[in-house]
Amino acid sequence: MAVRPRRSALYMPASNPRAVEKARALDCDVVILDLEDAVAPDVKADARAAAVAAVAAGGFGRRELVVRANGIDTPWGFDDLAALAAARPDAVLVPKVDDGAAVARHAAALAGAAPLWVMIETARSIFRLEEIAAALADAGPGGGFVLGTNDLAKEMGARPGTLRAPFQGMLGMAVAAARAHGLVVLDGVFNAIDDDAGFAEQCAQAVEFGFDGKTLIHPRQIAACNAAFTPDADAVAWARAIVAAFADPANAAKGAIRVEGRMVERLHLAQAERDLAVAEWAAAG
């Protein structure tokens, strides 16, 4: 089963050479070089050139390299997309996508050179999640959602707290829309860098919702995030039991079987295989 774990996705400013170099050795699954929020207007062009150079230089190992461009409606957006279409990172992330038409505009500018990921961070986007997901699927394989909960909270005037009560319906709908169209879906950031307990609690919530992983703002969050999104020993043992049971020729024609006293259907087999693949990825890191 081909699985590309994206447990931890760390934002790094593309304008900071030391940060970019450091990212090559960190234990995150995804590095997001940022041309948008983390970069001042007067160095946008320099940051773009640095991101393109980083993609060309490589050296990120098994880490997926994503670049967040400026919005297409900004003075830098089209130039960012043109440069990234030529550079071909693993994916291009774009901000503040409100609807399917915006997805189509960004996809046209990239011309299929890289998978398109979009930030879900505006109030308008929440009411168009399925439309946006469908447009991403139409744009080509490998598309994704990244939740931008800070911008969403600002626009709504919300005060979400660790378990994000105002957002829970939106989080679930975002995951459902992404899954309906075969997209990557990553949770938003946790701002309190030194609040380890709060971070662990929010990671656990993201796992419950079904996110692939979580976006991060500091390297110290990586280990805890990876641990949260990696099946533990009990989950791995259970997954192995499910896979072994369905591999038994006696169960070849069965849609549901009994495993260790529990009823298991074939739909559980796919999740078991995914859990094992993520655990193997983590062990090989």
Annotated binding site: 68, 121, 151
- Look at residues 171, 196, 202, 200 and name the one whose alpha carbon lies nearest to residue 185: 171
What is the identity of the amino acid at 250?
A: A
Annotated binding site for substrate: 68, 121
> How do strand 8-13 and strand 30-34 relate by DSSP bridges?
parallel
Annotated binding site for Mg(2+): 121, 151
Q: What is the DSSP string of 53-105?
A: HHHHH---TTSEEEEEPPPTTSTTHHHHHHHHHHH--SEEEES---SHHHHHH
Where b means 16+ CB within 10 Å and e means fewer, 33-69 reads: bbbbebbeeeebeebbebbbebbeeeebeebbbbbbb
- Return the sign of the alpha-carbon dihedral for residues 145, 34, 124, 204: positive
Per-residue CA distances from 276 to 138, 231, 232 (Å): 30, 8, 10
